[in-house]
Amino acid sequence: MKKNWIIVLIVAFLSMMILSVGCKKNNNETESPPKLILKLTDAPFPLDYFETVEVTISRIEMHKSSDNDTNFEIMLNEAKTFNLLDLRGGVTQNLVNKEIPKGTYTKIRMIVDGGRVVLKDGREFNLKVPSGAQTGIKIQLDPALEVSTKLSYELILDFDISKSFKVQGGQNKISDINGFIFSPVIKVANESVSGRISGNILSDSCTAIDNLDNQPLNNAFVSAINADGLVIATNATNESGSFALIGLKPGTYNVLVEKDDFENQYIENVQVVVANDNNLSEIIMQKNCTKTPSEIPSETPGGNSSNEASNEISVE
């Protein structure tokens, strides 16, 4: 009888989509087989315009290394819809919990049926994937995932909203938007060989010297920038002001926090250690109470985008 291992797939929103893999020691190796936890998350965008940003995933397969390139284990074979706006700040959500045979897994193939965007002015856009429904989105696992021992393995998929939902028309105000081109972009990271930076962003409520009225700042844009000035990871805060930058290689980063009508915050020399979370606690943003609301920028300031810390793929 073939011995099986358990795979758990989870969905999360990090303002981008990141895939992270983690291992946890199982205290009861006799009764509990190894687990693989797959999570989904998402990346920042002009989120203040959006009421809902949904994706529907109907099939997920794990490719098992062998002489046969078609050797896939089916993990999910039913449509599931997720609102990516519910998955900000490092929040995760179970996607699949299923046994999987031991072996070496080199990639994930995901079928994304489509997306749906609802703007705050009430307009709704139903979107189709150009070729994803036919061939699937291929996500390489580098390094490959070895399922052999009685451990729990954790994977996180980071769905990049800003690149997956390309705005048609202008972004200066919500009425300028006239549609979207939907081409899913997903990043993968391995949390067993990487770390994360987290924290909470607060508004000073226009009273810089009084901390008692500080309020959580929703939809602030947080970036991790490496020594070369490249943006390695981004995240949007949720209603509680929380953020998490995941899948970061060990090293030193600068953290940039941005939000329209607030002064940028720049935290230097933030250390990242493998399998650890460097929590920056509270970061206070000073609101510019004398300015009229500014336009949402179309490009991410603070550095150039890079795929250094994770593998980024789009529909083939």
Per residue in 70-103, pLDDT tens?
A: 789 898 899 999 998 888 887 777 777 777 788 8
Q: Is a pLDDT exceeding 70 seen at residue 191?
A: yes
Give the separation between CA 244 and CA 234, rounded to whole angstroms: 8
Measured from the Cβ of residue 217, the count of other Cβ atoms closer than 10 Å reads 24
Beta strands 151-160 and 35-43, pairing class:
parallel
Measured from the Cβ of residue 106, the count of other Cβ atoms closer than 10 Å reads 18
Q: Is a pLDDT exceeding 80 seen at residue 30?
A: no
| Confidence band for 164, pLDDT divided at 50, 70 and 90 | confident
Indicate the pTM of the whole model: 0.73
Identify the residue with better confidence: 37 or 83: 83
Give the separation between CA 285 and CA 137, rounded to whole angstroms: 38
Positive or negative CA dihedral for 76, 102, 7, 55? Answer: negative
Average pLDDT, whole number, for the chain?
78
Q: Decide: 52 and 103 in contact? Cβ < 8 Å.
A: no
| Confidence band for 109, pLDDT divided at 50, 70 and 90 | very high
Domain boundaries, the chain: 4-192, 195-309
Give the separation between CA 105 and CA 66, rounded to whole angstroms: 9
The CATH number of the structural domain formed by 195-309 is 2.60.40.1120
Nearest by Cα to 198 from 272, 92, 308: 272
Q: What is the 3-state secondary structure (H, E, C) of 140-203?
A: EEEEEEEECCCEEEEEEEEEEHHHHEEEEECCCCHHHEEEEEECCEEEEECHHHCEEEEEEEEE
The mean pLDDT of 94-122, rounded to a whole number, is: 88
The four Cα atoms 209, 214, 220, 221 give a dihedral, to 10 degrees, of 50
Q: DSSP string covering 215-234, please?
A: EE-TT-EEEEE-TTSEEEEE
The CA–CA distances, whole Å, from 135 to 63, 71, 213, 260, 262 equal 14, 15, 52, 39, 43
| Confidence band for 190, pLDDT divided at 50, 70 and 90 | confident
- The pLDDT score that the predictor gives to residue 123 is 96
